[in-house]
């Protein structure tokens, strides 16, 4: 029996330690190969890949609320007040599937694609036609279901979130609870449709956080996907057996 075999026989932990080293080496080799490989993007023929902030800005034909300030869409809830007229104040209305609302004395108002301020002017014009002197109307958004962004992938709370005000990529990710421990923040994709053409823009969150380039705007109907880091997933599986080792083990990933 060799010295090594004798040691392994006398100390079973040595054999287990050797096995763990083999497992670590194999997993790290795969992880490093994954880091060194070149990712392929935009294989879908219906997608045009652009770099950094090159995604075009949608117009009103692409999304209901593409511009700032907010544009009202179907099934949004509004609160309408008419100053000095209690019967017409505090009314909560919801736009229908076509984006229209009905208001006493003003009739049917086509609200879709209009700002709250523009809706105020339409209601005021309708009230004037029905002999309301100098009406002062206030329209406020209560709830939106039409102007949303989808945030998916390695974020804490994937889901659909309303686009309120000037939303950026970092704000969208933060709204979804931030990235998970497995997120590959250098690969974040924003899918957008403009003029019937699908686009995919690729961003590096760390680069944005460090100020390397501007935080891009996110618009209604965008889909944000935070990529997963396979190497971190593999490392997490490795860590599950680390407690078997009685002494510290330091791994240099890169």
Q: Locate all alpha helices (DSSP H) within the chain, ordered by sequence.
A: 3-10, 12-36, 116-129, 169-175, 205-209, 230-239
> What CATH number is given to the structural domain containing 104?
3.30.1950.10
**Structural domain contains residue 29:** no
Number of domains in the chain: 2
- CATH of residue 192's domain is 3.10.560.10
Structure tokens, 221: 């109907």
Model pLDDT, residue 69: 67
Residue at token pair 């229209």: 100
Sorted by sequence, the CB contacts under 8 Å of residue 96 that are 6+ apart come out as: 74, 75
Residue range 190-228, pLDDT digits in tens: 888 888 888 888 888 988 888 888 888 899 889 999 988
Q: How far is CA 38 from CA 60, 183, 200, 224, in A?
A: 37, 17, 18, 21
Does a structural domain hold residue 172?
yes
- Region 155-173 average pLDDT: 88
The pTM of this model reads: 0.54
């Amino acid at each position: 029996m060799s010295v090594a075999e004798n040691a392994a026989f006398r100390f079973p932990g040595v054999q287990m330690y050797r096995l763990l080293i083999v497992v670590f080496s194999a997993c790290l080799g795969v992880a490093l190969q994954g880091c060194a490989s070149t990712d392929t993007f935009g294989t879908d023929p219906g997608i045009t890949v652009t770099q950094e902030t090159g995604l075009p800005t949608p117009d009103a034909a692409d999304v209901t609320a593409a511009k700032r300030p907010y544009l009202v869409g179907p099934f949004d809830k509004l609160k309408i007040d008419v100053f000095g007229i209690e019967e017409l104040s505090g009314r909560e209305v919801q736009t229908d599937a076509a984006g229209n609302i009905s208001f006493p004395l003003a009739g049917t108002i086509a609200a879709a694609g209009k700002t709250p301020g523009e809706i105020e002017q339409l209601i005021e014009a309708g009230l004037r036609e029905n002999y309301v002197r100098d009406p002062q109307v206030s329209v406020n958004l209560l709830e939106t279901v039409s102007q949303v962004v989808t945030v998916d992938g390695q974020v804490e709370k994937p889901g659909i979130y309303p686009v309120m005000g000037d939303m950026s990529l970092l704000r969208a990710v933060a709204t979804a609870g931030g990235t998970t421990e497995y997120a590959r923040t250098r690969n974040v994709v924003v899918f957008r449709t403009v003029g019937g053409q699908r686009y995919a823009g690729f961003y590096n969150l760390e680069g944005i956080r460090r100020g390397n380039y501007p935080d891009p705007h996110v618009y209604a109907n965008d889909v944000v996907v935070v990529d997963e880091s396979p190497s971190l997933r593999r490392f997490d599986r490795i860590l599950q057996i680390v407690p078997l080792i009685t002494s510290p083990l330091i791994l240099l990933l890169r």
